[in-house]
Amino acid sequence: MPRSRPIPSVLRPCGGISIPSTAPTTSSRGSPTSPPSVAAEVEGVIVAGAVHDPLRRETFWASDDQAWVDDSVLASAAEDPGRPGVLTSQPFQGLRSTGAELEELVEICRSFGIVRNPGSFALQVAHVAAGRASGAFELTGAAPWDIAGGIAVAQATGCTHLRLGQAPPGFGDWASHSYLITRDPARAAEIGPRLARLMAHGEVPEVFAKFMAI
């Protein structure tokens, strides 16, 4: 962190969560350098965390209800709706879905605007927390250590976090392989149930990319 100082909320027994240094999926689908991510969890609650982007040379970090990118304080979601756009790595190779399911997923993405993949689950969440996109979602594949640091930053800026699946054993309610993060709680309430239904049918195929042609 650019300016280290004691964090009251973690001056008690806590668990550390960090992204593995290998992260082959992250590297193959986005950035060639895996962004380091770390978080502190106390009694199932994320209380602090950080995500470093080695390519842009910036660090997103948070403790309690305050978040920064390097030395700049991030605006809360209530103050700034953020830029239009959704961050996701979908489509992800896996089970095939019906045409109707694909069309609904396309409409969900288009309701956010431009679709981008920054190459890291943690960076997706951190960028939403920084207002660089209005939302991010994954329907599968995000391990708790992939998103923990980003969740800390998103929580501190007041973003809405919907878990779209069950928490893996040993982690708090924040953890899931599937999630939706938005700066607008109304958008989360509208889109979250639709994503959950799609997720129940499995991962979407690569043909989804054809629907996203702009």
pLDDT of residue 2: 42
Q: Which of 113, 121, 129 has its CA nearest to residue 212? A: 113
- CB atoms near residue 138 (< 10 Å): 25
Q: Residue 182 pLDDT more than 80?
A: yes
pLDDT of residue 114: 65
**Whole-number Å distance between alpha carbons of 42 and 37:** 17
Q: What is the mean pLDDT of residues 181-189?
A: 91
**Whole-number Å distance between alpha carbons of 138 and 179:** 6
Domain 8-211 indexed as CATH 3.40.190.80: yes
More confident residue, 5 or 79: 79
**Whole-number Å distance between alpha carbons of 188 and 182:** 6
CB 47 within 8 A of CB 14: yes
pLDDT of residue 1: 41
Residues in Cβ contact with 186 at an 8 Å cutoff, skipping those fewer than 6 apart: none
pLDDT of residue 201: 60
Q: Residue 7 pLDDT more than 70?
A: no
185-199 and 99-112 helices, crossing angle to 10°: 160
**Whole-number Å distance between alpha carbons of 154 and 45:** 13
pTM over 0.85: no
Phi (first) and psi of residue 95, to 5 degrees: -70, 150
- Both structure tokens of 158: 């007041």
Residue 142's pLDDT band, with cuts at 50, 70 and 90, is confident
pLDDT in tens, 68-120: 999 999 999 999 988 988 888 766 555 455 566 667 767 777 776 667 776 68
Q: What is the mean pLDDT of residues 54-74?
A: 92
Residue 213's pLDDT band, with cuts at 50, 70 and 90, is very low
Residues in Cβ contact with 175 at an 8 Å cutoff, skipping those fewer than 6 apart: 144, 147, 148, 163, 167, 168
Residue % of the chain over a pLDDT of 90 = 26
